[in-house]
Amino acid sequence: MTSVGSLPATLADPLAATSPRGSQGPAFKPSRRRVPFVRGTVGYLKPADARPVIHLVDTGPGVPREDFEHDLREVPIVDARLAPAPPRIHHEGFELWDAPSRLRNFHDEALQAVYYPECVELACLVTGASRGFVFDHLLRQREEGRPPLTFGRGGAGSAPAAAGRVHNDYSEDSGRRRLHLVLNDPEAAAAVRRYSIVNIWRSIGGVVRDTPLAVCDATSVNVGDLVPAELRYPRRVGEIYLSHHAPGHRWAYFSEMDTHEALVFKQFDSQASGTSRFTPHAAFDLPHIPSDAPLRRSIEVRCLVVYD
């Protein structure tokens, strides 16, 4: 359950349209006021001795898809649009860019031909890298009825949903392996001095009014907070980071993200110090979701960028 923190309820309620008295013209309504933060629930990892495992295949009846317990925490999540200074990709670990795409249908077969090059250009512009390689994308949609958030993989052929578990797409080990998988050339990989992996997240269903993406300020995350977890696919095993809760974590989101905007956030950096390296993130439900709000639809693209 989420709530607006220490703010009058009227600031969070949807504003009803009204018309001037006796007017037959268009409806008017007060300008929507942004609130500085909300309180949202995100799913941390409950401390345990065993290595966490997430099955991304059907496990059969009675077998859990996740073999660990969750630690659901209500945390303050600030609206980064109202921050005194915008966050930076190499400091807090994320930036929001106005970046319209030429692609209109993200389910179209032209996605890789049109959208991938746009993402490479954006990723290099944001990070200062000289070249990039998109190697993966995922389309997600919030489920009908908005059930409690999970890791976003329901199995049985269902489409990926919003992921409410706090995670980072790559660990130290999987981030280093990814360079070789992307370049597929040992000599070329050996010549790379520094590289990063970024996630580019975009709404593809209009303004997000129900389940936005929250990112955790990388400067507030300690290495000890992060726990390697196995992702078991049908024919391979991957590794991500889950996170334990820490009181110092600082969460942010960008209110009412629209399709012309892109949130770029760091998931790995081969430079071990002096820059953001991991930006944990999770979806969360807003405290007051308008009754007519569409289900959030989004695309996330993963791009490896090289600094020559």
Q: What is the pLDDT of residues 277-307, one digit of tens each?
A: 999 999 999 999 999 999 999 999 999 999 9
Give me the residue label for tokens 């790559």.
Answer: 170
Q: How do residues 154-185 score in pLDDT, each as one tens digit? A: 655 568 999 999 999 999 999 999 999 999 99
Instruction: Name the band, by pLDDT with cuts 50, 70 and 90, for residue 64.
Output: confident
Domain 40-306 has CATH 1.10.3470: no
In this model, does residue 9 exceed pLDDT 60? no
248 or 14: whose pLDDT is higher? 248
Distance CA 42, CA 60 (A): 27
Averaged pLDDT, 214-224: 97
Query: What pLDDT digit, counting tens, does each position of 121-132 carry?
Result: 999 999 999 999
* pLDDT higher than 50, residue 227: yes
Mean pLDDT of 225-250: 96
In this structure, what are the phi and psi dihedrals at residue 109, rounded to the nearest 5 degrees?
-65, -10
The distance of Cα 186 from the centroid of its chain, to the nearest Å, equals 31
Give the pLDDT confidence score for residue 177 in this predicted structure. Answer: 97
What pLDDT shows up at residue 35? 83
C-beta separation of 16 from 28 below 8 A? no
Residue 303: strand pairing partners: 134, 198
Q: Please give the pLDDT value at position 20.
A: 46
Higher-pLDDT residue of 19 and 267 is 267
Domain boundaries, the chain: 40-306
User: Is the pLDDT reported for residue 6 higher than 60?
Assistant: no
Q: Please state, rounded to an integer, the average pLDDT across all residues of the chain.
A: 90
Query: The sheet that has 297-306: what strands, in order across it?
Result: 94-98, 261-269, 195-203, 297-306, 131-141
Residues 181, 183, 188: CA angle, nearest 5 degrees: 130
Among residues of the chain, what percentage have pLDDT more than 70? Answer: 88
